Amino acid sequence: MAIGKIRVKNPIVEMDGDEMTRVMWALVKEKLLNPWLDMKLEYYDLHVKRRDETDDRVTVEAAEAVLRHGVGVKCATITPNEDRVAEYGLKKMWKSPNGTIRSMLDGTVFRKPIFAKNIRPFVSSWKRPIVIGRHAYGDVYDNSEMAVACAGTAVLMFTPAPGGAAAWQKIADFTGPGILQGIHNTDESIRNFARACFAFALDEKIDLWFSTKDTVSKVYDARFRDIFRQEYETSWKAKFDAAGIEYFFTLIDDAAARAIRSEGGFLWALKNYDGDVLSDLVAAASGSLAMMTSVLVSPKGCFEYEAAHGTVQRHYYRHLRGEETSTNSMALIFAWTGGLRKRGELDGTPDVVRFAAALERAALGTVEAGIMTGDLLAVARKSAGNRRVTTEGFIDAIGGRLRRSLVRKRAGEDRS
Ligand code: NAP
Ligand code: MG
């Protein structure tokens, strides 16, 4: 049966990438999106060679396009190290594209696991995903540190730019060798982080938890707590009440203990280091890296979706040798559905939102029917019906399921 395509009104910024994810990216577009959607894609090729040829200008242009259009979808990309410079003959070790895009969008990254009925989290009480919102600025990632070799005094000092007396206080009297570290953050960055978290929780209609160690860090961590509270009371409380969701602040150790005993289903906002550690813990405890999506939310009102995993290099080399691969495209597919849903919401086109939901149901339905890639087979509930499929076989199975659901729906509409 021929079916008319769904029109996506405004452009989506498409950022292509590297290795196995680039292979899957093309398959997902060819088999799951193009047959059904009439999309305007503004395409940027972030393949590592293309970044090299353009002296990384293409990454900057892609980020500018996301700022312009509001919605982007990104494939995984190689962050060059010495091996990659040699492998691809690069001019230099270009910076991480994600880092470049994140700093241009000034965003917060939210990581959300995809749950399937037959892939149970290792934490048995978790019934819904825990989303991690990690502050991606400052603290120990932008520190200044030194080792001291002998006895002496360390001080913390601030010199005001407009002039006036410097403020200082003692950190410690050393009686022998030791170490020292200075870290910082800014009110503006913390406020943007808070806004991104409140907006995300409201968008997803889930509770927001925030936790710091403010009992010990009475100035630094307490500032985070106070900015979140001010932001909540002035701009979000009424909206949260109307949506029936809660903002909850507690100590980081209390939050960690509660999270393990919880049913999940909330956004957990975390400072940079806490988010680094706990997002990996939540990802691993939720099942598989290939079932984790990621969205960068900018205070400038734009959204960039991607899979949380990398380019799956080892599978790509197998693919290049002509061997069969069984690489999981779930997180890539959910990056596209995330972008399409957001585009549809911003454009006021509910049929695009419904298509995104239908594709997600088809993808989850495939896994829940036992048709899965190798990574999932290893962690899925054992069942005689479970079957391992290839990279392409998995996408084809999802495509078949999607087609059946869309044709059924269209036939229903024709009859009514
Ligand atoms: P990776 O691509 O995430 O893969 C690590 C391992 O996890 C794989 O070897 C595979 O395990 C498993 N895995 C990850 N995704 C999978 C999927 N979709 N299906 C099945 N298994 C999957 O990390 P990496 O190998 O450390 O990094 C490769 C490249 O990705 C690097 O150049 C790095 O710079 C880049 N990277 C990019 C991003 C990004 O763009 N967002 C993020 C991280 C890394 P098995 O081999 O055991 O099957
Ligand atoms: Mg980490």
Task: Read off the DSSP letter of residue 115.
Answer: P
Q: Which two tokens stand for residue 91?
A: 């001019």
Q: Which residue, among 36, 35, 46, has the nearest Cα to 72 in the 3D structure? A: 46
Q: Which residue, among 13, 102, 82, 94, has the nearest Cα to 49 in the 3D structure? A: 94
- What is the pTM (predicted TM-score) of this model? 0.88
How many angstroms separate the alpha carbon of residue 130 from the centre of ligand 1? 22
| SS3 assignment, position 375 | helix
Ligand 1 in contact with 380 (CB < 6 A)? no
Q: Which residue, among 26, 101, 111, has the nearest Cα to 309 in the 3D structure? A: 111
- pLDDT (tens digit, 0 to 9) for every residue of the chain, 416 residues total? 456 899 999 999 999 999 999 999 999 999 999 999 999 999 999 999 999 999 999 999 999 999 999 999 999 999 999 999 999 999 999 988 998 898 888 778 999 999 999 988 889 899 999 999 999 888 988 889 999 999 999 999 999 999 999 999 999 999 999 999 999 999 999 999 999 999 999 989 999 999 999 999 999 999 999 999 999 999 999 999 999 999 999 999 999 999 999 999 999 999 999 998 898 889 888 878 889 999 998 878 899 999 989 999 999 999 999 999 999 999 999 999 999 999 999 999 999 999 999 999 999 999 999 999 999 998 899 999 999 999 999 999 999 999 999 988 888 877 76
Ligand 1 in contact with 311 (CB < 6 A)? yes
With the most atoms of ligand 1 within 8 angstroms of its CB, the residue from 311, 314, 328 to mutate is 311
Domains of the chain: 1-108+299-416 (3.40.718.10)
DSSP string covering 117-186: TTB--SSTT--SPEEEEE--SSGGGG-EEEEE-SSEEEEEEE--TT-SPPEEEEEEEESS-EEEEE----
Q: Which two tokens stand for residue 28?
A: 């997902």
End-to-end CA distance of the chain: 18
Describe the crossing of helices 97-105 and 57-69 by its angle, rounded to 10 degrees.
40
Residue written as token pair 């106070």: 226
Half-sphere exposure of residue 344, counting CA atoms within 13 Å on the CB side?
19
Question: Nearest C-alpha to atom 26 of ligand 1 is from which residue?
Answer: 310
With the most atoms of ligand 1 within 8 angstroms of its CB, the residue from 48, 312, 318 to mutate is 312
| SS3 assignment, position 389 | coil
Ligand 1 in contact with 400 (CB < 6 A)? no
Name the amino acid, one letter, at 416.
Answer: S
